[in-house]
Amino acid sequence: MGWQEITALVLVALAAWALVRKMRGKFKGEGDCEGCAPPKKKK
């Protein structure tokens, strides 16, 4: 397996992990559009 394959597979694994986190956030109600976010305190 060459360096391109290894790097690509690592990136895919990271993307899958990030997407799972993102979707878990979405299911907790954290959106990423205007007005989607729950009330937050901005300091």
Partner 1 sequence: MSSVALVGNPNVGKTTLFNALTGMMQHTGNYPGVTVEWKSGQWKSADLPDGAMELVDLPGTYSLAAQSPDEAVVAATLLGEIPGLPRPDAVIAVIDASNPERNLYLLSQLIEVGIPVVVALNMVDAAAAKGLKVDAVRLSKNLGIPVCVIRANRREGLKGLSEAVGARLRDTQGASFTPLCKDPRVASSPDIIRERYSWARRMLVDCLERPETPLQTFSDRIDRLVTHKFWGLLIFFGMMALVFQSIFSWARPVMDWLDLGVRGAGDLLLAGMPQGTLRSLLQDGVIAGAGAVLIFLPQIAALFFFISLLEDCGYMARTAFLMDKLFSRLGLSGRSFIPMLSSFACAVPGIMSTRSIDNARERLVTMLVAPLMTCSARLPVFTVMIAAFVPSTRVFGIFNMQGVALLGMYLLGAATAIPVALVLRKTLMKNVSPMFLIELPAYKWPDTRTVLQRVYLQCRAFVVRAGSVIMLVSVLVWALSYFPRASAPVDASTQLSQSALGRMGKTLEPAFKPLGWDYRITMAALASFPAREVVVATLGTIFNLSKDQTDDVGLRQNLKDAVWPDGRPLFNLAVALSLMVFFALCAQCASTLVVIAKESGSWKWAAFAFCYMTTLAYLGAWGTYSLVFRLMSAGA
Minimum separation from the CB atom of position 14 to partner 1 (A): 9
Q: Is 24 in the site for partner 1 (CB under 8 A)?
A: no
Minimum separation from the CB atom of position 1 to partner 1 (A): 9
Tokens of 3: 């360096």
How buried is residue 29: exposed, middle or buried, by Cβ count under 10 Å (0-12/13-18/19+)? exposed
Which residues of the shown chain bind partner 1 in the complex (CB under 8 A)? 2-5, 7-9, 11-12, 15-16, 18-19, 22-23, 26-29, 31-36, 39-43
